[in-house]
A and B are shown apart, each in its own frame.
Chain A
């Protein structure tokens, strides 16, 4: 590989490595798949080089060097696995265990604990300490954070996160030597902060744990599914951690273009609704004498029959929680039934909550993941900042009324009673859906595959972490089957098919493919004028 002035070439564990100037040895080692053990270093924070666990041997250096702050230099020969490097790291790991309580059986971090991992990876088989252990006990830090002082490895990531990222120095190290302990300044602790949940994520051990998740599940029982946080239009990349078909917690997933390693406390805590038990589980169709549960084939057949005989313009209410594919399916249904209007409602916060240390990240005012997507599909926003109202002309409409996802909580039983056809595709019934001719159960975002478009026009994929209830299906699937039956064209068989059809028909998404989006997303075509942009 030809060197340019902006790179340096060095040898790590016998491999020639070329990295940009200024790269640390720890990051350079990652390029050959070597993850040098470390605690205090976190790529998003300053590096105090104090845990001393990332020591490696650099030929010519008088002593082992901390790889997290030693920058790669031309011609350097680095050994991460030499006797010297391994022996010093084994020494540091032994020191960690002198006072660590080894309460793994009751520790939430167990299974995803870096102390467990590293000691198993390269620590001693047996500890030699025979001395009584130091005891700090537990402390409620406020917010969702509980502190187990005895488990702490004193890496100070949490202190630096609060100082450098949230920029609200609520934590500090008090005392010194091995009496050092993380503490809060005042009684309120972390109460009232907006991002402190992240310190639980970056704590490499079980010292900082989530009260919400406390003793709820073992790490090895959780399935991790890449997803997008639905709580605002930032579109933070997250993982759904699920067990027994229930979301147990949400964790941020790294994406430097969107959220770095972080997510806000509001989004992190807002997941119980995904586990909501009261759901529509079977298509409900109003026949002459009663509302009857049907299979999908029969229900779609009934809808086809009704569609032949209905009259009047179409008014659709969609949800900014619906995927791009679902919204596109509603739009083509509206078009197929003779055209009409699409509106959506979305709660909006008074102000953004920025993360000062990572300026592209904020909890946005729009409290839904896909308002931008709804705008692109031609829907316009109605209602107030609480996400209610604005449906007066829909409620009494005498043509076709289609509702996707919006549970109509502010409407009463008269909603849609004058409609020639009222189709409700949703997760929950409500008094206002009582008049629906068709109540069709659909999945929520956690139960299906799809894409959201965030506030800056980044289209991002999410994957299903839960099984939908009963017969619930994604809206694109249901409406796709309906359209296929009407037109004779093939129905979309996957979310990828649905997205491909959308990319083919919507200029803003032209050229995007599902595969290209991958787990990182892609930005809308900027040359195209985007509604709502």
Chain B
């Protein structure tokens, strides 16, 4: 298969059908063993499924890395309210492009995962909330869902099991903040896409005021495999605390950017040098953002010892996030990159919380001024102070996310800022 780039070091579990359009059809999916995990799940019962997922150690792939089985077990067991499973397909973190591929190449894998997840949390209705820009992707998913309804895999009395689960695909309107779980719920309900205050947590009061669980596409796509093969099977990959495989979205200055499914704990430098074919044009590595634009930047020295699991990246000084690896070479203008990212956050801030609404826009203006050669050294201290004031002071973490690259880049690449401030010149700009 020629899906843009593949590597023999990959472990293709979730991504095995990438590049194979026939896998989108239900009969192909069933032929290859699809929907057998669903049957097994019905035999295990909801609590049995939760136990298997707990045993696998699967952690949420949306960025926070919270253990999925534990999250499911927070759902009330004896409530008489309807429960909802929400699948977060609003993939909007800059640098991330895995959920889109999972949906467009293997929609039934996700549908099966959603069904099992809904069954485990005793939900009779699941929503797949797709990013507004994913028009074609959503069409693929909607077609697959239609087929699954026709063949009795979704809807009333699934395959004669007596279990009813409906799935609704909802296309968002294109806002980063609607990928935040409670922002997504508001958007789904037709409200402004603004995060809600927690508590109450979604497991108590979620979508439409009912107990809800929200999982990332990649998390739910892994569920059928885990249920089919067992928790121990999944633990053959990865580390003790970060088991399993993970899709890495590599972008930037490498020879072969793309999606690679690798066991967690994979060395970052191996990903760049081996899997991605090394730096483009033989340039030197300057920096890597390992988990999507919200996490701190790593400099080349920090990258050297970084292993790509939840703990390993924290140890190196950043976070794994959703494993969106943005690679930057020696010619990269860090100040410009950071300004561009913060500008994105300023554009996407929902505007509720003052530190985020005002802070992201103010940071953008200061960074733009520095970039234009009109900065002062005091600006750096102001930016660092703002970073402190924007971290942990808001309803959601968008504000923290905007502050992280600013703070980390000033600490790690201060010379570039100072050079611009003192000489009005960009370092490394061609």
User: Any chain B CB within 8 A of the CB of A434?
Assistant: no
A177 pairs with B393, CB closer than 8 A:
no
A177 pairs with B360, CB closer than 8 A:
yes
A88 pairs with B389, CB closer than 8 A:
yes
User: Any chain B CB within 8 A of the CB of A99?
Assistant: yes
Interface centre among A52, A53, A69, A132 (most CB of B within 10 A): A52
With contacts A95-B358, A99-B358, A177-B360 known, is A50 near B389, CB below 8 A? no
A50 pairs with B382, CB closer than 8 A:
no
Interface segment, one of B3-11, B287-295, B344-352: B344-352
User: Any chain A CB within 8 A of the CB of B169?
Assistant: no
B351 pairs with A175, CB closer than 8 A:
yes
B392 pairs with A95, CB closer than 8 A:
no
Interface segment, one of B131-139, B207-215, B362-370: B362-370
Q: Inside 8 A of B347's CB, which chain A residues have their CB?
A: 177
CA distance A66 to B354 in the complex (A): 13
> What mask results when residues 36 to 68 of chain A are scored 1 for a CB within 8 Å of chain B, else 0?
000000000000111111010000001110100
> What mask results when residues 349 to 387 of chain B are scored 1 for a CB within 8 Å of chain A, else 0?
111111101111110011001000000001000100110
CA distance A70 to B365 in the complex (A): 34
Q: Inside 8 A of B348's CB, which chain A residues have their CB?
A: 176-177
A178 pairs with B360, CB closer than 8 A:
yes
Q: Inside 8 A of B395's CB, which chain A residues have their CB?
A: 49-50
CA distance A74 to B378 in the complex (A): 44
Chain A residue at smallest Cβ distance from B394: A52
B393 pairs with A91, CB closer than 8 A:
yes
User: Any chain B CB within 8 A of the CB of A245?
Assistant: no
Q: Inside 8 A of A153's CB, which chain B residues have their CB?
A: 354
Interface size class of A (residues with CB under 8 A): 35 or more
A96 pairs with B352, CB closer than 8 A:
no
Contact partner of B351 among A63, A66, A87, A177, CB < 8 A?
A: A177
A131 pairs with B346, CB closer than 8 A:
no
CB A26 to nearest CB in B, in angstroms, measures 14
A177 pairs with B197, CB closer than 8 A:
no
B350 pairs with A131, CB closer than 8 A:
no
User: Any chain B CB within 8 A of the CB of A98?
Assistant: yes
Chain B residue at smallest Cβ distance from A179: B351
With contacts A50-B395, A131-B366, A177-B349 known, is A96 near B388, CB below 8 A? no
Contact partner of A49 among B197, B350, B361, B386, CB < 8 A?
A: B197
CA distance A55 to B352 in the complex (A): 15
B358 pairs with A48, CB closer than 8 A:
no
B354 pairs with A63, CB closer than 8 A:
no
User: Any chain A CB within 8 A of the CB of B192?
Assistant: yes
B346 pairs with A178, CB closer than 8 A:
yes
Q: Inside 8 A of A263's CB, which chain B residues have their CB?
A: none
A64 pairs with B392, CB closer than 8 A:
yes
Q: Which of B273-314 contact A (CB under 8 A)?
A: none
Contact partner of A53 among B346, B354, B389, B394, CB < 8 A?
A: B354
> What mask results when residues 178 to 191 of chain B are scored 1 for a CB within 8 Å of chain A, else 0?
00000000000000
Q: Inside 8 A of B394's CB, which chain A residues have their CB?
A: 52
Q: Inside 8 A of A281's CB, which chain B residues have their CB?
A: none
A98 pairs with B358, CB closer than 8 A:
yes
Q: Which of A126-184 contact B (CB under 8 A)?
A: 128-132, 134, 153-154, 173, 175-180
B349 pairs with A51, CB closer than 8 A:
no
> What mask results when residues 121 to 164 of chain B are scored 1 for a CB within 8 Å of chain A, else 0?
00000000000000000000000000000000000000000000
Q: Inside 8 A of A48's CB, which chain B residues have their CB?
A: 197, 352
Contact partner of A128 among B177, B360, B382, B390, CB < 8 A?
A: B382
Q: Which of A450-485 contact B (CB under 8 A)?
A: none
Contact partner of B355 among A69, A91, A154, CB < 8 A?
A: A91
CB A450 to nearest CB in B, in angstroms, measures 46
CB B295 to nearest CB in A, in angstroms, measures 18
Chain B residue at smallest Cβ distance from A64: B393
A63 pairs with B393, CB closer than 8 A:
yes
User: Any chain B CB within 8 A of the CB of A375?
Assistant: no
Contact partner of A178 among B177, B357, B382, B390, CB < 8 A?
A: B357
A154 pairs with B357, CB closer than 8 A:
yes
A177 pairs with B346, CB closer than 8 A:
yes
User: Any chain B CB within 8 A of the CB of A519?
Assistant: no
Chain A residue at smallest Cβ distance from B362: A98
CA distance A508 to B346 in the complex (A): 64
CA distance A92 to B358 in the complex (A): 9
Q: Inside 8 A of B357's CB, which chain A residues have their CB?
A: 95, 154, 177-178, 180
B392 pairs with A50, CB closer than 8 A:
no
Q: Inside 8 A of A398's CB, which chain B residues have their CB?
A: none
User: Any chain B CB within 8 A of the CB of A94?
Assistant: yes
B353 pairs with A52, CB closer than 8 A:
yes
With contacts A48-B197, A69-B197 known, is A95 near B354, CB below 8 A? yes
Q: Inside 8 A of A99's CB, which chain B residues have their CB?
A: 358
CA distance A269 to B351 in the complex (A): 34
B346 pairs with A92, CB closer than 8 A:
no
A177 pairs with B355, CB closer than 8 A:
no
CA distance A179 to B358 in the complex (A): 10
Q: Which of B374-430 contact A (CB under 8 A)?
A: 378, 382, 385-386, 388-390, 392-395
Interface centre among B355, B358, B386 (most CB of A within 10 A): B358
CB A80 to nearest CB in B, in angstroms, measures 15
CA distance A50 to B396 in the complex (A): 10
Q: Inside 8 A of A52's CB, which chain B residues have their CB?
A: 353-355, 393-394
B361 pairs with A92, CB closer than 8 A:
no
With contacts A128-B382, A154-B351 known, is A178 near B192, CB below 8 A? no
B351 pairs with A176, CB closer than 8 A:
yes
B353 pairs with A177, CB closer than 8 A:
no
CA distance A352 to B275 in the complex (A): 75
B382 pairs with A55, CB closer than 8 A:
no
CA distance A529 to B385 in the complex (A): 69
Chain B residue at smallest Cβ distance from A90: B389
Q: Inside 8 A of A131's CB, which chain B residues have their CB?
A: 362, 365-366, 369
Q: Inside 8 A of A179's CB, which chain B residues have their CB?
A: 351
CB B356 to nearest CB in A, in angstroms, measures 8
Q: Inside 8 A of B382's CB, which chain A residues have their CB?
A: 128
B350 pairs with A176, CB closer than 8 A:
yes
Q: Inside 8 A of B361's CB, which chain A residues have their CB?
A: 98, 134, 177-178
B360 pairs with A92, CB closer than 8 A:
no
Q: Inside 8 A of B352's CB, which chain A residues have their CB?
A: 48, 50
A154 pairs with B354, CB closer than 8 A:
yes
CA distance A129 to B366 in the complex (A): 9
CA distance A51 to B352 in the complex (A): 7
Q: Inside 8 A of A69's CB, which chain B residues have their CB?
A: 197
Q: Inside 8 A of A64's CB, which chain B residues have their CB?
A: 392-393
Q: Which of B321-362 contact A (CB under 8 A)?
A: 346-355, 357-362
Q: Inside 8 A of B192's CB, which chain A residues have their CB?
A: 173
Chain B residue at smallest Cβ distance from A177: B349
Q: Inside 8 A of B355's CB, which chain A residues have their CB?
A: 52, 91-92, 95
Q: Inside 8 A of B360's CB, which chain A residues have their CB?
A: 177-178
Contact partner of A92 among B197, B351, B389, CB < 8 A?
A: B389
CA distance A66 to B197 in the complex (A): 10
Q: Inside 8 A of A63's CB, which chain B residues have their CB?
A: 392-393
A91 pairs with B389, CB closer than 8 A:
yes
Q: Inside 8 A of B366's CB, which chain A residues have their CB?
A: 131
Chain B residue at smallest Cβ distance from A99: B358
Closest 7 CB pairs of A and B: A91-B389, A180-B351, A63-B392, A95-B358, A177-B349, A50-B352, A178-B361
Report 7 cross-chain contacts, Cβ distance below 8 Å, ordered by A residue: A51-B353, A88-B389, A88-B393, A91-B355, A91-B393, A94-B389, A130-B369
Extra A-B contacts (5), CB below 8 Å, given A87-B388, A131-B366: A52-B394, A66-B197, A92-B393, A177-B347, A177-B357
